[in-house]
A and B are shown apart, each in its own frame.
Chain A
Amino acid sequence: MTDTNSNISNSNVRGETSMDCPLIGRIVLGELDLPLMRPTTPAALANLVRDAAQTQTAVYPVGGRTRTRLGRLPEKPGTAIDMTALDAVIDYPSADMTITVQTGITIAKLAKILAEKGQRLPIDSIDPEKETIGGLIATNASGPRRLGHGTLRDYVIGIKYLNDQGEEAKAGGRVVKNVAGYDLCKLQTGALGTLGILTEVTFKLRPVPEARAIVLLHCFAANLQAAAHAVHGSSTRPVSVDVLNPRASLALFQNGLVNPDPGHTELNGWYIAVGFEENGPATRWQVETLTQEMSLWKPTTLQDGKEEAFWQALTSLGQHWPGSNLSTDVPITLKATARASDVHYVLTKANELGAEGRVTGHLENGIARVHFPGDTPVEKIQEYTAKLRGLALERGGNLVVESGSPSHLKAVVVWGEPRADHEVARRVHREMDPLKIFNPGRFLPGT
């Protein structure tokens, strides 16, 4: 770190460390080395925001810090705020199937509390032990089961956040149906913390399904489209339809979870994983039916907990690379989108272009992800990203770099091609964070 950086960051910690807001260390965000404060009360958090407003500096909330490196690089010195002390359950009227929590709570802790009542928030996440609800909402994270259950925007029914004055503001409420006021729950979800610091959220919940299973199908690049088409035409109603290229399959199967083709150690070909969650009879019927409908594609069934482990492993597929040093090598993840009917094309091209990439996709949602190890050369990622973005754009989609080291992120267009509504988005941001206090620089250019 250069002198200038640390000078700037020191000068912003006005109150220095205090009982309800200790300075717990420093953190590097992008190329800034920032003091890391850990407020233990909402009031202390609000003070930090007010300080930032007064000193024209910035605040960078962090949760589980699983993804603090993503997005564009922070552009303004300030304070990083560790949100994990604010992790209380405010209210859990389980019979109403809603819960209100502070946003520093981890996904795993929340899931455990809900499971005791047979309930859940059906959102897949990469690293539930570490990730916080705040981070999840800010990044609008999702996984395979978004096909059946939707994404966070379908579950956040109330939200509290700190605005640029350090005032707590809210939208929505604690009931499952409510149209009073503008739906800032939607606006804040996926805003990467650029419109305020999320402090509290109310979710509507779902019951844990009685039964689940995944049917794995095998195909090759050449007949991926045909297989995808056949699954689309199935009379079953899957909650997830995912595809894995040979490298992704290998990575997933090698961890011992499952090997659908035990005769072969060198796995080849692609796999499609079709998931079901329903009551017992409906799940059984769907597994049987899909197995019959897709008998040409070597169906095998995962159940008894293996399906859950599969979904989890698939969601975090970009995280683990043999021989890579996680503390220095930040894995690289690209997400390309397209119409669902075209995504097979993006997937096979992604596979051809970048041989060492793990390519996966949510087939029915038109989403493809490519994961590379963190030591992949910058120029390679740059070239690859540009090519893949071109392909995605031709098919009505876009490409976002979801993870990468600062040197990788600096070399690429992180948030893809600006959308048609870019100017409106900037106006919204200008109204809600005129001083650029919240995560400045990390999201869309201009926010």
Chain B
Amino acid sequence: MDAKILDQLRAVVGPAGMITNDSELLVYECDGFTIERNKPEVVVFPNDTAQVSRIVKICHQAKVPFLPRGAGTSLAGGCLPIGGGVVISLARMKRIWEVDSRNRFAVVDPGLVNVWLTNQIKSSGWHFAPDPSSQGACTIGGNVATNSGGPHTLKYGVTVNHILGVEMVLPDGEIVMLGGPVEDSPGYDLTGVTVGSEGTFGVACRSWVRITRNPHGYRTLLGVFETVDDATEAISGIIAAGIVPAALELLDSLILRAVEEAFGFGFPLDAGAVLIMEVDGIEAGLDEEASRIEEIAKKARAREIRRADTEAQRLLLWKCRKQAFGAVGRLAPSYCTQDGVVPRTRLPEMLRTIRSISEKYQIKIANVFHAGDGNLHPILLFDERDSEQVKKVLDASTEILDACLSMGGSVTGEHGIGVEKISFMPKLFSPADLGMFARLRKAFNPDGLCSPGKMLPTAGACNEAGHVHTDGAHAPNKPGRRAAL
């Protein structure tokens, strides 16, 4: 990179606000998706929106690609710096600017770790509803960019349902406020379409987020089933009965073993699957709901149903669930998580399909997922050093996601397309659909310098020369396009 550009950046963030040496840059060559890597040329750490704007202006003028980055927990390669360039880390911007419980919103910085907001407001009876399993690490800016979900988004909705406004630095450096704390402001829902745009519309700085009142109480049940099929039957039964649980999460036997070893919760290791079934809300209504769920689970041949009787038990159960990915390290040196979605009634079939794919490729696959939403997270276990296994994992992943599509589902419920799943976009969307996406992106990101190579396949891949705009010289055939090709 031109030394002049580095000097300009240094003038904004100071020498302590940037990284340029190779060994430190290594950290930024990938995110939670480790199969593809590429080093950026520089990482900058702005302190506020004005600095972000100045950095983006420098990139824009010099035609250098840039990429916002939160905690780097993306599982889809969203933080892969395609074409090198500048990584803008929001890690130093982590203030809570305002909590206004009367008007039910908070204003937070992009680098604020998700759970910190809830920690800050829970004693006064509030929380931030989107609760990705990675909430102890991931940032609210990252959540906004990927439209994150979590166990409790079954009842409360995903990130976009909780974002009122975003202060954006557009790819030309202009600062613009989308939406805001007052509802129904006239005009297009630019906030809604920006959430989930995976960093391709600019850098999200402060967000105006909805805060949610804590429920009066919870009933948290653990259903133990002999088989995965029985557990999925219970899920369909609960949904069909018109109950909206707060969460409905499935763990299969493989993942149970890892979690049990890590946390010693007392899961039955001979079970085929367990379901975490939680209802919350007005205390007076909870027992009735819980007993209806219990009944349905029993009908689906639950071997045993336990209740988390104390808050400590409940929290431990959720810790087991949320840190399940972490525990996978005990099962294999490397893992790769998929994020497919199927209509909820197709879960039994889909889990059988996963089983047969696992046998076909001789790759172990553990399942721990948001069952109530039909959002699967098959975890494929392998050893990264064995290139044959890596290939098998990629092939098995593709087969799993294709099966989701053939059942009328999607390849990603919450992790995003990133670079990992770009090749699926033409399977999900027609050239006309993709053409309209490309036009929309062009309205925000006309030069394609912001997060190039993410989400949309380039023109060649979808034969829509007229509408699909490429990301210019930075994207094709550079490192990082493996998944796309």
Contact = CB atoms under 8 A, between A and B. Distances in A.
A208 B242 contact: yes
B341 A177 contact: yes
Interface string A283-301: 1111000000000000000
A428 B190 contact: yes
B447 to A, nearest CB: 13
Among B157, B192, B345, B424, find the residue whose CB has the most chain A CB atoms closer than 10 A. Answer: B192
B16 interface: no
Nearest to A91: B408
Contacts of B183: 337, 365-367
Interface in B327-381: 341-345, 370, 373-375
Interface string B164-199: 000000100000111111111111111111011100
A45 B239 CA distance: 37
Nearest to A233: B102
Nearest to A419: B187
B133 to A, nearest CB: 14
Nearest to A167: B432
Given A150-B157, A182-B441, A280-B288, A337 B414 contact: no
Contact of B184 (A180, A280, A367): A367
A169 B434 CA distance: 8
B220 interface: no
B186 A181 contact: no
Given A150-B161, A181-B429, A421-B177, A278 B281 contact: yes
A420 B167 CA distance: 10
B343 A187 contact: no
A365 B182 CA distance: 8
A154 B429 CA distance: 22
A432 B437 CA distance: 9
B226 interface: no
A44 interface: no
Given A97-B239, A169-B435, A177 B373 contact: yes
B439 A432 contact: yes
A442 B362 CA distance: 60
Interface in B264-284: 281-284
B430 interface: yes
Interface string A233-272: 0011100000000000000000000000000000000000
Contact of B410 (A173, A182, A232, A398): A173
Interface residue range, chain A: 35 or more
Contact of B243 (A165, A184, A207): A207
Contacts of A430: 443
Nearest to B428: A180
A419 B182 contact: no
Given A182-B196, A182-B441, A285 B176 contact: no
B442 interface: yes
Contacts of B409: 173, 175
Contact of B443 (A206, A285, A400, A427): A427
Contacts of A1: none
A169 B176 contact: no
Given A279-B285, A422-B187, A179 B413 contact: yes
Contacts of A174: 343, 408
Interface stretch (A35-43, A81-89, A338-346): A338-346
A444 interface: yes
Contact of A175 (B149, B240, B410): B410
A218 interface: no
B282 A425 contact: no
Interface string A404-438: 00000000000110011111110111111000000
Interface in B428-485: 428-430, 432-433, 435-437, 439-444, 455
B414 A179 contact: yes
Nearest to A423: B176
Contact of B341 (A178, A191, A278): A178
Contact of A337 (B179, B182, B412, B413): B182
Contact of A179 (B282, B289, B412, B439): B412
A226 B109 CA distance: 33
B186 A398 contact: yes
Contacts of B244: 206-207
Given A119-B242, A367-B184, A187 B440 contact: yes
Contacts of B179: 421
A184 B194 CA distance: 10
A176 interface: yes
Contact of A96 (B146, B343, B425): B343
Contacts of A282: 281-282, 284-286
A340 B412 CA distance: 36
B247 to A, nearest CB: 13
A153 interface: yes
Interface string B193-208: 1011100000000000
Interface residues of B, number: 88
B49 interface: no
Contacts of A322: none
Contacts of B180: 396
A183 B195 contact: yes
Contacts of A396: 180-182
Contacts of B417: 179-181
Contacts of A206: 244
A236 B181 CA distance: 23
B416 interface: yes
A352 B28 CA distance: 60
Interface in B92-123: 100, 102-104
Contacts of B441: 182
A432 B412 CA distance: 26
Contact of B193 (A168, A183, A283, A423): A183
A354 interface: no
B60 interface: no
Given A186-B160, A431-B439, A424 B176 contact: yes
Interface in A141-199: 150, 153-154, 163, 165, 167-171, 173-184, 186-187, 189-191, 195
A245 to B, nearest CB: 20
A177 B344 contact: no
A187 B189 contact: yes
B158 interface: yes
A15 interface: no
B98 to A, nearest CB: 12
A339 B182 contact: yes
A95 interface: yes
Contacts of B100: 341
A281 interface: yes
B281 A420 contact: no
B213 A237 contact: yes
Contacts of B375: 177
Given A366-B103, A419-B187, A424 B182 contact: no
B433 to A, nearest CB: 5
B232 interface: no
B127 interface: no
Contact of A177 (B192, B374, B440): B374
A190 B182 CA distance: 16
A64 interface: no
Contacts of B191: 186
A98 interface: yes
B284 A420 contact: no
Interface in B312-332: none
7 nearest A-B pairs in the assembled complex, by CB-CB distance: A186-B192, A282-B285, A207-B242, A285-B284, A282-B282, A177-B413, A167-B432
5 contacts: A170-B429, A177-B374, A183-B147, A398-B182, A398-B186
Interface of A: 93-98, 118-119, 140, 150, 153-154, 163, 165, 167-171, 173-184, 186-187, 189-191, 195, 206-208, 232, 235-237, 278-286, 335, 337-341, 364-367, 396-398, 400, 415-416, 419-425, 427-432, 444
Given A176-B373, A182-B437, A444-B186, 7 more contacts: A173-B408, A175-B409, A177-B153, A181-B433, A237-B282, A279-B285, A285-B285
